[in-house]
Amino acid sequence: MRKDPKLFQHGTLAMLVAGLFDGTMSIEELLKHGDSGIGTCSGLDGEMVILDGIAYTIRRNGTVEALSGDVKTPFACVHFDPKSPGQKVSGFSLPELEAYLKGQGMGNIFYAVKLTGRFAKMKTRTVFKQEKPYPGLSEVADQQAVFEGENTTGTLIGYYAPDLYQGIASSGFHLHYLSADHALGGHVLDFQLAEADLSLTPFIHLPTSNADFLQANFDLASLNDQIQQAEH
Amino acid sequence: MRKDPKLFQHGTLAMLVAGLFDGTMSIEELLKHGDSGIGTCSGLDGEMVILDGIAYTIRRNGTVEALSGDVKTPFACVHFDPKSPGQKVSGFSLPELEAYLKGQGMGNIFYAVKLTGRFAKMKTRTVFKQEKPYPGLSEVADQQAVFEGENTTGTLIGYYAPDLYQGIASSGFHLHYLSADHALGGHVLDFQLAEADLSLTPFIHLPTSNADFLQANFDLASLNDQIQQAEH
């Protein structure tokens, strides 16, 4: 039996927003649940990229390091890459990629996205390792290091989360990048694609073939009131 | 290797709020992912209770029916009951149970809860089967049938979701009940416990042994702004 692709997530983004940066799961344990994904290390020590079963961190000075199994993470998402054949895409910027995928009815689905190829432009950031007492995530993001590269070859990996998942994940795209030569990486702020293979891995505990669901607009502003009224 | 307890959820509560009541997963498929849980049927046809690998629905007239494998559900949560020994509890009302568990540091953890025993009072509701075009969930809840019983013996089962999961789940407790004689059941509105075994099954992809996390108060009101600022 083919197993459905599953996303494994440790922690929530809301925990990082609240400054809960202590690592609480080892990389060794994390990699039992997936060979591909993104995350961060204890103390928010860099941006993590997991590819082919190896976890890397991109540090504040831009260096890339493969992590040993005993390093701990407060927040990471992994899945097993089904290595399904991708589609050739070219020319997209980040907003254009998002608009393209939403146009294909992917706006309400939670899925992994991987782009492997050449990027005309790539702009990333990394956060800095923090010490206790930890600040909140938005203060940390104000001090980020930004890196830019042209004509880099590498892998962009991450997730698209529908708006409903804001807080558990980061709604919309949450993407990290690692160049093949390990000279550039981090949390993706922007890019301009030259050409790449695009592969998508939907996590299908949602009704991915139901037309009403795919087209629905969820009114998050009134959701809390409506659930309180209906369920209690 | 002991497997960590996992929650399997099909659909989201936000989908029900938006009136997406079409069943999109069969009971046969659902029961591959768990033997215990809660849900509803296509068209919001009653309140579903899953116990020991059998899915039951409690209909608008209060009758209880075991569901065949081809019945479809738009929303259900299941897990495999680890059958771990419970603790004897007595006298709790629903708010008292919630306060007791929050006091034990369970407020930020997602877990299954099961109470098996005798209830001095039990108040449930069931929703009515809807036809297309479907109304929203809050309109349906206005027309619910309410049932009350005294000194009933049975099983209360469901989940506690931290506030962050509002919309994906129903934040707080979401509990269904089925009496041993199948004379009373539905979505639990209130109860007064006589005495029962209480068993809790935490889903541990969250850092359940990290004291900072267990005690944290998450500011959901500002969460969206903070993530937008930090991650984009």
- Higher-confidence residue of A224 and B194: namely B194
Say what the pLDDT of residue A1 is: 36
Q: Chain A contact for B224, CB < 8 A?
A: yes
Contact indicator for B126, B46 with CB cutoff of 8 Å: yes
- Region label for A33, one of left (φ > 0), alpha (ψ between -120 and 50) or beta (otherwise): alpha
Contact indicator for A34, A78 with CB cutoff of 8 Å: yes
Judged by CB atoms closer than 8 Å, whether chains meet at B224 and A166 is answered as yes
Say what the pLDDT of residue A139 is: 86
**Per the structure block, which two tokens stand in for A14?**
């809301």
How far apart CA B15 and CA A193 sit, in angstroms, is 35
Average pLDDT of the segment spanning B72-92: 93
Q: Which of the residues in chain A have pLDDT under 50?
A: 1-2
The model's confidence at residue B49, banded by pLDDT at 50, 70 and 90, is very high
The model's confidence at residue B1, banded by pLDDT at 50, 70 and 90, is very low
* Strands across the sheet containing A64-66: A8-10, A75-79, A36-40, A47-51, A54-58, A64-66
Q: Could you report the per-residue pLDDT of B93-112, keeping only the tens digit for each? A: 999 999 999 888 888 889 99
Judged by CB atoms closer than 8 Å, whether chains meet at B207 and A11 is answered as yes
The model's confidence at residue B231, banded by pLDDT at 50, 70 and 90, is confident
- List the single residue in A with minimal CA-CA distance to B210: A24
- Higher-confidence residue of B85 and A23: namely A23
How far apart CA A34 and CA A32 sit, in angstroms, is 6
Instruction: Sort out which chain A residues have CB atoms less than 8 A from B216's CB and list them.
Output: 15, 18, 20
Say what the pLDDT of residue A119 is: 98
* Percent composition of chain B: helix, strand, coil (DSSP 3-state, to 5): 20, 40, 40
Instruction: Sort out which chain A residues have CB atoms less than 8 A from B209's CB and list them.
Output: 24
Judged by CB atoms closer than 8 Å, whether chains meet at B15 and A166 is answered as no
Say what the pLDDT of residue A5 is: 85
Q: Could you report the per-residue pLDDT of B147-157, keeping only the tens digit for each? A: 999 999 999 99
How far apart CA B41 and CA B153 sit, in angstroms, is 25
**A87-202 maps to which CATH number?**
3.30.1330.80
Residues of chain B with CATH 3.30.1330.80: 8-79, 87-202
User: What do you get for the CA distance between the two ends of chain A, in Å?
Assistant: 40
User: What do you get for the CA distance between the two ends of chain B, in Å?
Assistant: 40
Nearest C-alpha neighbor of B98 from the set B115, B83, B81: B115
Say what the pLDDT of residue A204 is: 66
pTM of the model: 0.84
Among partner residues A212, A223, A227, which is closest to B22 by beta-carbon distance?
A: A212
Say what the pLDDT of residue B28 is: 97
Say what the pLDDT of residue B229 is: 75
The residue of B10, B15, B168, B214 whose CB has the most chain A CBs within 10 angstroms, and thus the best one to mutate to test that interface, is: B15
Say what the pLDDT of residue B205 is: 66
How far apart CA A157 and CA A55 sit, in angstroms, is 12
Contact indicator for A123, A146 with CB cutoff of 8 Å: yes
Alpha carbons within 13 angstroms on the beta-carbon side of residue A166 total 20
**Per the structure block, which two tokens stand in for A40?**
């961060």
- Higher-confidence residue of A49 and B140: namely A49
Nearest C-alpha neighbor of A3 from the set A36, A33, A28, A31: A33
Q: Could you report the per-residue pLDDT of A171-180, keeping only the tens digit for each? A: 899 999 999 9
- DSSP-derived secondary structure letter, B145: E
Instruction: Sort out which chain B residues have CB atoms less than 8 A from A8's CB and list them.
Output: 205
Judged by CB atoms closer than 8 Å, whether chains meet at B164 and A164 is answered as no
Nearest C-alpha neighbor of A72 from the set A55, A51, A52, A58: A55
- Buried b / exposed e along A214-231 (16+ C-beta atoms within 10 A): bebebebeebeebbeebb
| Residue ranges of A 150-179 with Cβ closer than 8 A to chain B | 164-168, 170-172, 174
Residues in chain A: 232
Q: Which residues contact A107 (CB under 8 A, 6 or more apart)?
A: A101, A162, A214
| Residue ranges of B 85-124 with Cβ closer than 8 A to chain A | none
| Residue ranges of A 19-78 with Cβ closer than 8 A to chain B | 20, 22, 24-25, 74
**B8-79 maps to which CATH number?**
3.30.1330.80
Q: Which residues contact B200 (CB under 8 A, 6 or more apart)?
A: B101, B106, B111, B112, B113, B114
Average pLDDT of the segment spanning B119-137: 94
The total of other beta-carbon atoms located within 10 Å of residue B1's CB is 4
Mean of per-residue pLDDT scores for chain B = 90
